[in-house]
Amino acid sequence: MSEELVLKIEGLHVYYGAIHAIKGIDVKVPKGKIITLIGANGAGKTTTLSTIAGLVKAKSGKVIFKGRDITNRPAHLVNKMGIALVPEGRRIFPGLTVYENLMMGAYNRKDREEVEKDLEWIFELFPRLKERLKQLGGTLSGGEQQMLAISRALMSRPRLLMMDEPSLGLAPILVEEVFDVIKKINQEGTTILLVEQNALGALKISHYGYVLETGSIVLEGPSKELLKNDMVRKAYLGVA
């Protein structure tokens, strides 16, 4: 059985000077799925997403997007091809309104009617944003800023949505809301690569997971199985 892959990473190595941050990882992201990369602080999660996004250079290995080799292409081209990144720490534009922030996500698009439709879709996903369209991004709560950052990425109508620790620093009730909305975005057709330290939340909503430790994948499998795995339970789920 062959499944259509949106993204394939093969034997990827990334260095920061002498620091070997990614040590030959292989990752597959099939179309229509949520794939998660879990790991502790410093494991190499952000580096992996940054390399896919063209923000950090691969030393060797390949990044294949929809069958095309995009290794080390510049970030704006990668984005234009259909890969959107919601960076760690929800970097929205604080001095722009919610509406302007959303439109920044659509700046590459010329299909105005479709953009309007996507706005309506986003208002359904995040009714709170619709009520705050004229409010400055910087005045939103942390949770609302995360919703805005995700929405802005969706406004580019990505073929692959990458999210870097979307639950980080949010109150527990909002953490649940963010995971729920990620699941919903996926159910409505978007392929997602989700990076998280919150292993429980990420494994609960994803189809397949990879465990990253100091730049190497030490374990992978269907998320349901990882949730039952002893090593994962001890090291990442805090279960004795």
Name the residues that contact ligand ADP, by CB under 6 A: 16, 19, 21, 39, 41-47
Give 42 or 222: the residue with its C-beta nearer to ligand ADP: 42
Our CA angle for 160, 57, 43, nearest 5°, is: 75
146 sits near Mg ion (criterion: CB under 5 A): no
Q: Compare residues 26 and 88 and give the one whose CB is closer to Mg ion.
A: 88
Name the binder of 176 from Mg ion, ligand ADP, none, CB < 5-8 A by kind: none
Which residues have a Cβ under 8 Å from the Cβ of 220 and sit 6 or more positions away? 208, 209, 210, 211, 226
Closest CA to 219 of 204, 206, 229, 207: 229
Cβ 215 to ligand ADP shortest distance, Å? 7
Phi-psi region of 149 (alpha: psi -120 to 50; beta: other; left: phi over 0): alpha
Among 7, 29, 46, 56, binds Mg ion (CB under 5 A): 46
Beta bridge partners of 34: 192
Q: Which residue is nearest to Mg ion (CB)?
A: 46
Task: Tell me, by CB under 5 A, how many residues bind Mg ion.
Answer: 2
Torsion angle, alpha carbons of 152, 109, 184, 99, to 10: 40
Q: What's the closest the beta carbon of residue 215 comes to Mg ion, in angstroms? A: 13
42 contact, one of Mg ion, ligand ADP, none, CB 5-8 Å limit per kind: ligand ADP
Chain centroid offset of residue 236 CA:
19
> Judged by CB, which is closer to ligand ADP: 9, or 155?
9
156 touches Mg ion (CB under 5 A): no
* Footprint on this chain of Mg ion (rule: CB under 5 A): 45-46
